[in-house]
Amino acid sequence: MSRATTQLPPVAIVVSRYNATITNALLEGARSTYLGGGGSADRLGVIEAPGAFELPVLANALAQSGMYRGVVALGCVIKGETRHDEFIAGAIAHAIADISIRTGVPVAFGVLTTDNAEQARARAGGDKGNKGAEAMVALLETLDALKDIGDAADTRTPGIACRLKSPVSDKSRGSA
């Protein structure tokens, strides 16, 4: 599917209010990526969650609502003196993956899990890019791939190929 000639599907963003300076930057990155890619504001839902732990329940409600083809979950979990970050981040990641698989509605993971606020700022529009924007790109490309698979299934055409339209981070090459 060529996004240049087709209107982007309706999608939702669920964003944690906790660590709001960071999550607002992630939200802006995701929103501007959607709108800049041809999406319209009236097809973009934005829901706030009190904290990162609440992201999955709201993402699940959005996925099951039938209003959106995909969801981006945005949050920021910063390591503290205890191991709370490990439990929260792991639970969120597992739940988001489960929602995607169970509902068939992709939920892109845009939750930062960093050792400190400096690392989070670097990934929320700083020198490491904007992971909110990257999560939106991942969602849109997943939706493209799902459409290609569905189109091939409708015509019973095996051997489909769906190529990503944007570069993907490759940490083996030293990119963020």
DSSP labels for 71-105?
EEEEEEEE--SSSHHHHHHHHHHHHHHHHHHHHS-
Rounded Cα gap, residues 1 and 20, in angstroms: 35
- Is residue 84 part of the annotated active site? The answer reads yes
Beta-carbon contacts of 174 under 8 Å, excluding residues fewer than 6 positions away, are: none
| Active-site position among 57, 84, 97, 153 | 84
Which residues of the chain form beta strands (DSSP E)? 11-16, 44-49, 70-78, 107-114, 124-126, 129-130
Helices 20-36 and 131-155 cross at an angle (nearest 10°) of 40
Rounded Cα gap, residues 159 and 148, in angstroms: 11
Catalogue the active-site residues.
84
